[in-house]
Amino acid sequence: GDSYKHVEPAIEKPPTDVSLFRRCKNLLASRFATYQALASIRSLRRNFGELPEVDQEHQLAVEAATICGGGYWQSLGQAQFFRNNPEAWDECAAMMRFVLQAFRDETNKLNTSFQLVVLPTLRQVHPETDSLAYDAAVEHLQLTEHDLQVDDRAAELVVRLAGDLQISLVDMREPLLAAFQHDKSHELYWRFDHHLNIYGHQVLAEHLLPILAKEFQKRATSNPE
């Protein structure tokens, strides 16, 4: 319906009639490209069965991640997903609201505060990093400029939800962008996985420290014991 609740996943036991050989084969087929390559050899396929039907979107994802791993896992994966499933955006937004509200309510019960921090992606701060590989992956996935706006849309969604739910929020998009523009000799993200590097974490820490210190001071004043 229109609400969500946390449910522990059911533990499913594998069918007892599936042989150890079949279970190993299924595991290899689902997780290792080497298996797919070997299964494409006709003589081996006759002995080990036909290669399962390939999901084209999954295949594109694997290839794009090979071209630009960090860019795919941080940005292009969700761009690909919402390109193919635009109707899922509203459902994801509702689930995000549910999660943020749960965090807010739990921290209120503990008489503490919930500080939400929005971290931009590498592409939002210094998009020139790995631009050739990133652009090649974009072309391979045939993503449009509209598809690539998903990073901004996601950040704006979180900002809006924080306002609706009265959750304290720090938006690090402008501070990180300003820090990089001020000194471009230091990129703020690792190239291999597009996460914040030591310089990016330093900017984050310098920005958050006074905010956290103010919160601690406020609590110390209201609870002197």
Q: Which residues of 44-65 are buried (b: 16+ CB within 10 A; e: fewer)?
A: eeeebeebeeeeeeeeebeebb
Question: Coil, helix or strand for 129?
Answer: coil
> How confident is the model at residue 216, as a pLDDT?
82
> How confident is the model at residue 118, as a pLDDT?
97
> How confident is the model at residue 10, as a pLDDT?
73
Q: Higher model confidence: residue 125 or residue 24?
A: 125
Q: How far apart are CA 122 and CA 74, in angstroms?
A: 8
Q: Are 196 and 129 in contact (CB under 8 A)?
A: no
Chain segment 133-158, per-residue pLDDT in tens: 999 999 999 999 999 999 999 999 99
> How confident is the model at residue 54, as a pLDDT?
58
Chain segment 42-86, per-residue pLDDT in tens: 555 555 555 455 588 899 999 999 999 999 999 999 999 999 999
- For the chain, the straight-line distance linking the first and the last C-alpha, in angstroms and rounded, comes to 46
Token pair 């690090």 is at which residue?
A: 172
Q: Which two tokens stand for residue 112?
A: 């503490």
Q: Are 125 and 177 in contact (CB under 8 A)?
A: yes
Question: Which of 59, 21, 52 shows the shortest CA–CA distance to 35?
Answer: 52
> How confident is the model at residue 155, as a pLDDT?
97
Q: How far apart are CA 16 and CA 77, in angstroms?
A: 36
The DSSP element (H or E) to which 59 belongs, if any, is helix 56-67
Question: Coil, helix or strand for 29?
Answer: helix
Q: How far apart are CA 107 and CA 114, in angstroms?
A: 6
Contacts of 161 (CB under 8 A, 6+ apart): 93, 96, 97, 100, 167
> How confident is the model at residue 46, as a pLDDT?
54
Chain segment 208-218, per-residue pLDDT in tens: 999 989 888 88
Give the amino acid at 5.
K
Q: Higher model confidence: residue 40 or residue 56?
A: 56
> How confident is the model at residue 24, as a pLDDT?
63
Please state, for a pLDDT cut of 70, what percent of the chain lies above it. Answer: 77
> How confident is the model at residue 162, as a pLDDT?
97
**Looking at the chain, which runs of residues are DSSP E strands?**
115-118, 168-171
Q: Which two tokens stand for residue 130?
A: 């790995």
Please state, for a pLDDT cut of 90, what percent of the chain lies above it. Answer: 63
> How confident is the model at residue 51, as a pLDDT?
45
What is the rounded average pLDDT for all residues in the chain? 85
Q: How far apart are CA 214 and CA 218, in angstroms?
A: 6
Q: Higher model confidence: residue 22 or residue 143?
A: 143
